[in-house]
Amino acid sequence: QKEVEQDPGPLSVPEGAIVSLNCTYSNSAFQYFMWYRQYSRKGPELLMYTYSSGNKEDGRFTAQVDKSSKYISLFIRDSQPSDSATYLCAMSAIDNAGNMLTFGGGTRLMVKP
Amino acid sequence: DSGVTQTPKHLITATGQRVTLRCSPRSGDLSVYWYQQSLDQGLQFLIQYYNGEERAKGNILERFSAQQFPDLHSELNLSSLELGDSALYFCASSDSDPISGANVLTFGAGSRLTVL
């Protein structure tokens, strides 16, 4: 079993829909949670970063962390065709080896006009 | 442009060969990370350097090696290449010491390696 699980999709939604992307994890030591967006043939770019549990909002994007359930979510409101990309969750814990990021496999999102 | 520069963008080579991938981190970033991304494995952490010193190793094969130079650029050397080494190789940089806080990485555009 992978340390971070993410449904690979693809997830296809109409323009304007609310999108929910999720990751589950097994390592209870994870404290930092991030979402990266990766367009085809590009490098991942940071979308959202949260520490510990709670919600964080940035424009159309909301990140939620539920550490008790080991579950994180990214919500996209009023989705646009330009949101079509692969979304990667990433998380880390500070330990003796430093806080290495562990990535989920990514969910491919397609927003249709 | 993320500020992290990777060269070459594309590389096609044969099995058994050796290649070098180069990365220049964002100005001011001291940490450099190398990741491999393949279709079936996702993003896999290979190795990390901080200010010239190796800080952590992930799933890096013995055939692979890396270093970070005094000017902070980094090189990833892949030798005795096999078909399975075909992948996207990403470099990322960070301005934080990896043991002091959250690790927010800025990725380059990647180097696509094809081994024939």
Per the prediction, chain A carries an average pLDDT of 91
- Which SS3 state, helix, strand or coil, does residue B74 take? strand
pLDDT higher than 90, residue B98: no
Q: Please check whether residue B56 touches A, CB under 8 A.
A: yes
A98–B104 CB contact, under 8 Å:
no
Q: Cβ A44–B56 below 8 Å, yes or no?
A: no
A100 vs A11: CA distance, rounded Å = 28
Contact B109 A44 (CB under 8 A): no
pLDDT tens across A55-65, in order? 999 999 999 99
Q: Which residue has the tokens 């050796």?
A: B18
Do B22 and B74 form a contact (C-beta atoms < 8 A)?
yes
User: Per residue in B1-20, pLDDT tens?
Assistant: 889 999 999 999 999 999 99
Q: Please give the Cα distance from A28 to B6 (Å, whole number).
A: 34
> Do B107 and B90 contact (CB within 8 A), yes or no?
yes
Q: Is the per-residue pLDDT at B103 higher than 90?
A: no
Instruction: Of A102, A32, A40, A23, give the one whose Cα is nearest residue B109.
Output: A40
Tell me whether A102 touches chain B (CB under 8 Å): yes
Are the beta carbons of B93 and B32 closer than 8 angstroms? yes
Angle formed at CA B32 by CA B104 and CA B53, multiple of 5 degrees: 125
Task: Chain A: give the shortest CA distance to residue B89, in Å.
Answer: 10
Q: What is the pLDDT of residue B40?
A: 72
Do A49 and B104 form a contact (C-beta atoms < 8 A)? yes
Hey, are the CB atoms on A98 and B107 less than 8 Å from each other? no
pLDDT of residue A96: 47
Q: Which residues of chain A have pLDDT under 50?
A: 96
Q: For the segment B17-74, what is each residue's pLDDT rounded down to a tens digit? A: 999 999 999 998 999 999 999 877 788 999 999 999 998 888 899 999 999 999 999 9
Give the H or E element holding residue A102: strand A102-103
Mutate to test the interface with A, among B60, B89, B103 (most CBs of A within 10 A): B103
CB of A98 less than 8 A from some CB of B: yes
Three-class SS state of B96: coil
- Determine contact: B115 vs chain A, CB below 8 A: no
The answer to whether the CB atoms of B42 and A104 lie below 8 A apart is yes
> Rounded to an integer, what distance in angstroms lies between the CA atom of residue A58 and that of residue A105?
23
Cβ <8 Å between A94 and B99: yes
